[in-house]
Amino acid sequence: MVIEITLYVVLLLTAFPVGWALAWFTKEELVPGRKWLQAFAYVCLCLFVLGLLFYRNYSILFTLFYMIIVAEMSIRKSLDKKFVE
């Protein structure tokens, strides 16, 4: 059980550099696509909460949480004026 949780944490930590890399490679699309990234993150968050309450399939919840982190990293980078110049 401890190894499984450790593996999940390590894999979730990889979402941060993946989100940063996504933002880096799509700099020109960050500002116009910010509303879509926010909508995507919001939908994933709603599905994550509903999954926690009713479904309890942890692999799907893990995937949703990973996508939330990646989208939020891109959203944060889109707000950085120096980054999107």
19-71 pLDDT, tens digit each: 999 999 988 888 898 999 999 999 999 999 999 999 888 889 999 999 999 99
Give me the pLDDT at residue 41, please: 94
**Residue 15 within a domain:** no
Question: In whole angstroms, what is the distance from residue 83 CA to residue 59 CA?
Answer: 33
**Residue 11 within a domain:** no
Contact 83, 77 (CB under 8 A): yes
**Residue 1 within a domain:** no
**Residue 57 within a domain:** yes
**Residue 78 within a domain:** yes
Give me the pLDDT at residue 50, please: 93
Give me the pLDDT at residue 4, please: 87
Domain count, the chain: 1
Could you tell me the residue range of the domain that residue 46 belongs to? 24-85
**Residue 9 within a domain:** no
Question: In whole angstroms, what is the distance from residue 62 CA to residue 56 CA?
Answer: 11
**Residue 16 within a domain:** no
Give me the pLDDT at residue 57, please: 83
Q: Work out the number of other CB atoms within 10 angstroms of the CB of residue 45.
A: 16
Contact 78, 31 (CB under 8 A): yes
Amino acid at 72: E
